[in-house]
Chain A
Amino acid sequence: MIFQPAALALLLASSLIALMLAGAGVFAIHLLRHWNPASGSERQIALERGTWLVSSLVGLTLLASLPTLALFARTADAMAPFFTGAMCAVGSLRANAWGLPAFLVMLALFFLAAAWLVLNHLDRLGWDAPLTRRKYRLLLALSPLAMLQAGLLWLYFLNLNPEVITSCCGSLFGPAAGGVSGELAALPLEIARPLFFLALAATLAAGAAYLARRRFGRAFGWLAALNLPVSLAAIVAFIAPYIYEQPNHHCPFCLLQVEHGHAGWVLYPLLFLGTAAGLGAGLAAGVRAGSLKDAAPRMAAALAGIAVGALTAFGGAVAVYVWRSNLVM
């Protein structure tokens, strides 16, 4: 165990989130079994009261949980000097078997939490709370994920041993590394670059179409979701090498470091914000409840605006990094 304030904060936060979502998950099961708005039974009225309280608590918890992803990445990066062989967050995360899974679960939880927050906000805008069932179904997916995240973080931090020799990012994100990360690093520029700009352009076009004509809202949500792995793949395949100005350095985590101008802290927040807002816009645009007929498109448009803005800035930042690079590929 490495006693770092950030590590302790992460353990405490993830445990509290897991505890809160576990309780909310039990309530969600009860609600999904018995929810019947047509009934005036004592149980239904108790559920109605319960859902306002639980939704508020879960909403606050998930909102507070969003920054933990950034904190974990920052902590992993800061811990790299403690491990022999580690050059960045990848080395820290690979210091035992739990780091990378914890990071991936946290990533999934980030986007699911964002989707839940959008559903919850919309539900509260309708006088008849029309999305109650839907948001509690999603909560049932969030609860085990939050517990898994807390479990993995505890396993990861408790089993960190500075004596262990870990491997640097080159062994994971190198063209010869094999696996998904190696395949991504080996992706030819002729494929990766057009694919990246095509996915981004299609996402932005759908977003713009929704903003202009209130059409293709759901498609925008799907495209924003699809754009995320494509963009992450592009970062590994060609954006990172351009920033490092080294054709064989593909690590997406070294971008967080000061030596590379903290480029990761520019790219990832924009990409993640754009993706989360795009997903939320798609969700809101797909809502057909009568009591939300004005509020849902309004919220979808607001989120689409944020998503288009963030993804445009992300694309612009990528273009600037590539243009300013001295690397010729």
Chain B
Amino acid sequence: MIELVAVSKVYNAGRPNQYSAVRGVDLAIEHGRVTALRGPSGSGKTTLLSLIGGLTRPSSGRVRLDGRDISALSERFLTELRRATFGFVFQQFQLIRGLSALENVMLPAVPTGRPHARVRARALELLEYLGLAAHAATRAQWLSGGEAQRVAIARALINDPRVIIADEPTSHLDSALSRQILAILGELRGQGRTLILSSHDPLVFESGLVEHLVEVRDGRLEAAGP
């Protein structure tokens, strides 16, 4: 269970451009389900995902993973936990230009110290699973939107995380590619992983993938679905 207790996030606190992205959010996310945050642009979805995944620390409130307060962890412990528990698929993919698809996928495994050959074999396996085996050597900047998104998913899976966090996973894709990505996410759900998405794409909500819908507006939760 991932719990957010009275979580707020203020950027540039105390400055003229202070901005409250998340305000007093209480939220419980069960493992093994697909949870989606829905709301307009600027509603705080990405900040909430960052808080859940330990990429950002709250200004107040607590984030707990299986009862353990992760928002109070020092950077060292938080990094270890983030690396082992969460896989991130970013809205803009965030692949590193100049590196091949294979190298991009392998990158998050480098700090774990796992043997290079084993990491490479696993990365190739993931690329093949996502239909990208032929593009393993292609540099990131030459990949199409759908390919880049799948490479980003493969990269999120390289450390075999329990939780996948995907920010607007279909926002840059056409309908056919969006359905393909949603099918892949459905398979990940089938493997028992927890999926937390943010989206305002109707395709995501019509797909039947989402089991727990959370409406976000102005940094607050409006209503939570089943």
Contacts and interface: CB of A to CB of B under 8 A. Distances in A.
B76 A40 contact: no
Interface residues of A, number: 12
B28 interface: no
Interface residues of B, number: 19
B71 interface: yes
B91 to A, nearest CB: 27
B57 A45 contact: yes
B171 interface: no
B58 A40 contact: yes
A323 interface: no
A3 interface: no
Interface stretch (A95-103, A123-131, A235-243): A123-131
Nearest to A42: B60
Contacts of A129: 72, 74
B72 A41 contact: no
Interface string B60-80: 111000001101111111000
A48 interface: yes
B75 A40 contact: no
A250 to B, nearest CB: 50
A49 to B, nearest CB: 8
A62 B80 CA distance: 28
Nearest to A52: B74
Contact of A40 (B71, B74, B77): B71
Given A40-B6, A40-B61, A45 B76 contact: no
A128 B76 contact: no
B30 to A, nearest CB: 21
B58 to A, nearest CB: 7
B85 interface: no
A100 to B, nearest CB: 42
Contacts of A42: 8, 59-60
A229 interface: no
Contacts of B6: 40
Contacts of A41: 60
A128 B58 CA distance: 17
A316 interface: no
B137 interface: no
Interface of B: 5-8, 57-62, 68-69, 71-77
27 contacts: A37-B69, A37-B72, A40-B5, A40-B6, A40-B7, A40-B58, A40-B60, A40-B61, A40-B62, A40-B71, A42-B8, A42-B59, A45-B57, A45-B58, A45-B60, A45-B71, A48-B72, A49-B57, A124-B74, A124-B76, A127-B68, A127-B73, A127-B77, A128-B69, A128-B72, A129-B72, A129-B74
